[in-house]
Chains A and B, each alone.
Chain A
Amino acid sequence: MTISSFMGLQTALRGLQASQEAIDTTGHNIANANTPGYSRQRVDMTESPSLTIPANSNVDGAGVQLGTGVDITTITRVRDTFLDVQYRAQNSNENEAQTQSTILDQIQTGLAEPSGNGLSKAMSDFWKAWSDFSNAPTQQAGAQAVINAGQTLAQTFNTVDAQLATVQSQVGQQFSQLISSSGQVQSDASQIASLNKSIAAAQAAGQNPNDLLDQRDKLLDDLSSLATTTSSVDSQGMLTVNFGGAPTPLVQGTTVSMPTATDLTPTSGGQIGALLGLYDAAAGGTGTIQTSYRDVLDKIAKQVNDDVNTAYQAGDPTVPDFFEWNPVSTPAATIQVNPAVTALNVRAGSNPADPLGQDVADAIANLKGQGPDQAYAGFVAQVGSDVQSAQNAQQTAQSLLGAIGNQRQSVAGVSLDEEMTNLISYQRAYQASSRMMTTIDGMLDTLINHTGTVGL
């Protein structure tokens, strides 16, 4: 058996094609060096099946296998799915801690401590006003100061509570926005579902849809910032996504089932978990803002209300209360100085016959440093340490996420140095294959045009 004269051309052509494809892939990698979620692609090459030359056609009678060049088997994306799983778990943690720390920070800012503009200052001024009033019970100015300080204290309670309420309702809005039909969960899930369809079609046709897979993985990364996700790939290559511990998968095949508000819980993780942890218990949350902050503030407001009233009445229930609050609402939100108590009738002593009596004023001034003051100082410490531990958790999660992100980048990221090196070797290979072709062309030229021309 003889070898075709043109076989070398075919071999060179395969070399050219393989190098060209590799150069194109290198270009694709370089172009996407900074694309989020992109994993670098690698051209897998193998030798093409060799040509078996039978034994009798050779000089010494032994058969040989003649190489026929190169084949491109696949273009694969380089990615470690195990790192993806870790990354997504950590991404949920990081986002949960981040959201928590941001919201708690707002609560802390609302207290305005220890700046001298917060509740502690208002309480302190209130006790001080009573102490001054006790020194000169007959002075109208002192009486007016007591009323004013009481109003300031009550309003400060109202303001702080209103701020907490605002944060609370914002948390609720954020949560409903996230899981609404125009929210990120819905949008990410629908995109995953449509990518599932395209990927399944491509894979059925035996293709390797690298870029679509990257996009789908990126969407899954995004979803993991909202709540914990687990995922599995079915036989068709479609991704099933379980989201935030909801019983029905968020995406299965090409179907999206949005979780209802009750499917998600504070243990859902991610932003949603953090929001639910802080949000009202009635809406499926833990209600931390309510129980740990607003309720405590209410307790302090009620304590101020009760202690001051008890001291003000001094055992005489016919005396009007100094403070009052609306039992339909909460103490902190509605506490105010009883309108019946004015600078004209506020009393410093319990006996109306003694204008210089000061037992009431002294009793109220002596509330300073007692129950309400101590409870409030404890409250400030509580809020502070909650914020601090959320911030610490966030920093830890952030550096862990950074480390895993780096590992993932290390596997999947595009290294320009590497691509440039590859570019040079593929370019040289392309040049060499071209030279091969030129050489064969020269051989054929000799054979065709210059053979058998003796004597011409």
Chain B
Amino acid sequence: MQRITELMTSQTTLYDLNSALSRITKTQAQLSSGKRITQPSDDPYGASLAVQLNSQLDGLDSYNRNVNDGTAWTQATDSSLMSMNDIAQRVRTLTVGAANGTNNASNLAAAAGEVDQLTDALKQAANATYNGQYIFSGTSNKQPYANGTAGDAYQGNSGPGSQITRQIGPGATNTVTINTDISGLLGQGLTGPGDNGLLTVFETISNDMKTGNTTNLSTDLKNLDANMSTLQGLEANVGATESRLSLASSRIGDLQLSTTQILSNDEDVDMAQASIDFSTQQAAYTAALQASAKIVQSSLLNFLQ
């Protein structure tokens, strides 16, 4: 039989009470912080995962902001294109009216005056901005069309390198192009090198009205229709971009939810488990305290006279 001394009993008691208390303290810290991992050593792999997941969540947050910004941009684009469409429609109505040959010179001059106004309106629509940025200037951020009579040359850039994109996921290719190139649609007007863009057509219509050249007007009408169908094509593209962004937004939302859940599983404490642990540990600690209070108290001395 092992010989037991008082010091052994009290030291063992102290050690056991200490470890019981330290277990309780740990569980209590978990319960009050709600976190299973408060420092890397609690679970090195879990902590590293938490670091990565938190960074992923921040990334998703960024992508979400990008999508929202891209959506606002495409909406601005959409409304500009719609007003261009309205303008073209009005010009078309005027042209059809002017082409039927029953108008006198002053009627035609009035119609021509309105077409000139609409030409300016078209340029204004093309000069729309979002958040201080010209939405139709490529990446140059220059006002795409000069006001008034300064000529109709496109001031922005186009082609490769002029795309404005929004990152909707990790990786260099996970992007959506949000800007629309309208330089081809509008063309450079009659002062330009010669094209059949909207500006050229508008200006030609205005000139033909002024000169009463109704025969030309029907050719102009065909050119106008061709441009309007291009415009509608652009609108369809913008709509497609918007729906792609909206899909991306809901996908990011799903990812945020699932990542948050994984993170919570990883670093959050299982409250039910921790509560049960806590009461078990507390019961054990109380029992240990009671037992040691009795054992350590008594010795042979209590019974000697």
Q: Which of B37, B61, B139, B301 contacts A354 (CB 8 A)?
A: B139
A415 touches which one: B6, B15, B40, B172 (CB < 8 A)? B6
CB distance from A49 to the nearest CB of B (A): 33
Contact B132 A354 (CB under 8 A): no
Q: Say if the beta carbon of B171 comes within 8 Å of chain A.
A: yes
Give every chain A residue within 8 A of B7 (Cβ-Cβ).
Answer: 33-34, 409, 413-414
The residue of chain B having its C-beta at the shortest distance from the C-beta of A104 within the complex is B41
Q: A residues within 8 A CB of B167?
A: 131, 134, 362, 365-366
Given the interface pairs A365-B62, A366-B172, A410-B4, the reply to whether A353 lies near B140 with Cβ below 8 Å is: yes
Answer yes or no: A405 CB below 8 A from chain B CBs: yes
Is B188 in the interface zone, CB < 8 Å from A?
A: no
Residues of A within 8 Å of B132, CB to CB, are 136, 138-139
Whether a CB of chain B sits under 8 angstroms from the CB of A116 is yes
| Chain-B contact segment, one of A12-20, A290-298, A380-388 | A380-388
Q: Is the interface of A mostly helix, strand, loop or mixed?
A: helix
Flag if B59 contacts A381 (CB, 8 Å): no
Q: Which residues of A sit under 8 angstroms from B65, Cβ to Cβ?
A: 131-132, 135
- Residue A102 at the B interface, CB < 8 A? no
Q: How far is the CA of A124 from the CA of B157 in the complex (A)?
A: 34
Q: Mark B16-48, 1 if CB is under 8 A from A, else 0.
A: 000000000000000000000111111111011
- Interface residue ranges of A102-161 to B (CB < 8 Å): 105, 108-109, 111, 113-116, 120-121, 123-125, 127-128, 131-132, 134-136, 138-139
**Per-residue CB proximity of B52-71 to A under 8 Å, as 1/0?**
10111011011101100100
Q: Is there a chain B Cβ closer than 8 Å to A377's Cβ? A: yes
For the complex formed, measure the closest distance between the CB of A146 and the CB atoms of chain B, giving whole angstroms: 13
B11 in contact (CB, < 8 A): yes
Among the 9-residue stretches B95-103, B158-166, B191-199, B206-214, the one with 4 or more Cβ atoms under 8 Å from chain A is: B158-166
Residue contact B69 to A135, C-beta cutoff 8 Å:
yes
Q: Are B166 and A135 in contact (CB under 8 A)?
A: yes
Q: A131-B66, A354-B140, A357-B139 are contacts. A384–B41 as well, Cβ < 8 Å?
A: yes
In the complex, A411 has a CB within 8 A of chain B? yes
| Residue contact A384 to B43, C-beta cutoff 8 Å | yes
* Chain A interface residue number, banded: 35 or more
Chain B residues near A410 (CB, 8 Å)? 2-5, 8
CA distance A378 to B48 in the complex (A): 7
Are B5 and A420 in touch, CB under 8 angstroms?
no
Choose among A373, A388, A415, A416 the residue that contacts B52 (Cβ–Cβ < 8 A): A373
Q: Across the interface, which residues of A come within 8 angstroms of B54, CB to CB? A: 114, 116, 120-121, 124
* Interface residue? B272 (CB, 8 A): no
Contacts A33-B7, A381-B44, A416-B301 given: A120-B55 contact, CB under 8 Å?
yes
Nearest-CB distance from A50 to chain B (Å)?
A: 34
Decide yes or no whether B187 CB sits under 8 A from chain A.
Answer: no
Interface residues of B in 156-193 (CB under 8 A from A): 157, 161-162, 164-167, 170-172, 175
Does B267 count as interface, using CB distance less than 8 angstroms? yes
A391 within 8 A of B: yes
List residues of chain A with CB within 8 A of the CB of B5: 409-410, 413-416
Per a CB cutoff under 8 Å, which of A34, A115, A356, A405 touches B164? Answer: A356
Residue of A whose beta carbon sits closest to that of B162: A354
A residues 394-419 near B (Cβ < 8 Å) are 402, 405-406, 409-411, 413-418
Q: Is the CB of A138 within 8 A of B40?
A: no
Out of B37, B131, B133, name the residue touching A114 (CB < 8 Å).
B37
Contact A363 B62 (CB under 8 A): no
The complex places the Cα of A377 from the Cα of B40 at a distance, in Å, of 10
Within 8 A of A (CB), among B211-262: none
* Closest CB in chain A relative to B21 CB, distance in Å: 15
Contact B51 A127 (CB under 8 A): no
A52-85 at interface with B (beta carbon < 8 Å): none
Cβ-defined partner of B8 (8 Å) among A113, A356, A406? A406
A contact residues around B139 at 8 Å (CB)? 349, 351, 354-358
Across the interface, B40 reaches (CB within 8 A) one of A111, A362, A366, namely A111
Q: Smallest CB–CB gap between A19 and chain B, Å?
A: 18
- Does residue A369 face the partner (Cβ distance < 8 Å to B)? yes
Query: B89 near A: Cβ within 8 Å?
Result: no
B300 located at the interface, meaning its Cβ lies under 8 Å from any Cβ of chain A in the complex: yes
Query: Cβ of A385: which chain B residues have Cβ within 8 Å of it?
Result: 40-41, 44-45
The reply to whether A417 and B40 form a contact with Cβ atoms under 8 Å apart is no
The A-B contact count (CB < 8 A) is 197
Question: CB < 8 Å: which of A351, A356, A373 contacts B133?
Answer: A356
A376 at the interface (CB under 8 A from B): yes
Q: Which residue on chain A has the smallest CB distance to residue B40?
A: A384
Q: Which of A354, A358, A388 contacts B165 (CB 8 A)?
A: A358
Q: How far is the CA of A413 from the CA of B9 in the complex (A)?
A: 11
Q: Is B12 at the interface (CB under 8 A from chain A)?
A: yes
A114 near B41: Cβ-Cβ < 8 Å: no
How distant is the Cα of A355 from the Cα of B54 in the complex, in angstroms? 33
Query: Nearest CB to that of A357 among chain B residues?
Result: B139
Contact of A421 with B by CB under 8 A: yes
CA of A369 to CA of B62, assembled, Å: 13
Tell me the chain B residues, 90-110 only, with Cβ under 8 Å from chain A. Answer: none
- A105 to B41 alpha-carbon distance, docked (Å): 8
Instruction: Give Cα distance in the complex from A115 to B42, angstroms.
Output: 13
Instruction: Tell me if A124 and B55 are in contact (CB < 8 A).
Output: yes
Taken together as a complex, chains A and B put the C-alpha atoms of A355 and B299 apart, in Å, by: 89
Query: Given the complex, which residues of B lie within 8 Å of A354, measured CB to CB?
Result: 138-141, 157, 161-162
Q: Which residues of B contact A406 (CB under 8 A)?
A: 8, 11-12
Task: Assess whether A387 is in contact with B50, with CB atoms less than 8 Å apart.
Answer: no
A114-B55 CB under 8 A given contacts A354-B161, A366-B167: no
A358 to B162, CA, bound (A): 10
Q: With the chains together, A358 CA to B39 CA distance in Å? A: 38
The answer, among B4, B51, B66, B131, for a CB contact under 8 Å with A120, is B51
Distance A414 CA – B37 CA, assembled complex (angstroms): 45
B62/A128 in contact, CB under 8 A: yes
In the assembled complex, how far is the CB of residue A411 from the closest CB belonging to chain B, in whole angstroms? 7
Interface: A368 (CB within 8 A): yes
Which residues 413-435 of A have a CB within 8 angstroms of B? 413-418, 420-421, 424
Contact status of A420 and B8, CB under 8 A, knowing A354-B161, A384-B44: no
Give chain A nearest CB distance to B23 CB in angstroms.
12
CB-CB nearest 7 A-B residue pairs: A384-B40, A384-B44, A381-B48, A413-B5, A387-B41, A354-B139, A385-B44
- Provide a sorted-by-A list of 25 A–B residue pairs whose CB atoms are within 8 angstroms: A114-B40, A124-B54, A127-B62, A134-B167, A136-B132, A349-B139, A354-B138, A354-B141, A354-B161, A356-B137, A358-B164, A366-B167, A368-B170, A373-B55, A383-B40, A385-B45, A387-B40, A388-B41, A409-B5, A409-B7, A409-B8, A413-B3, A413-B5, A413-B8, A414-B5
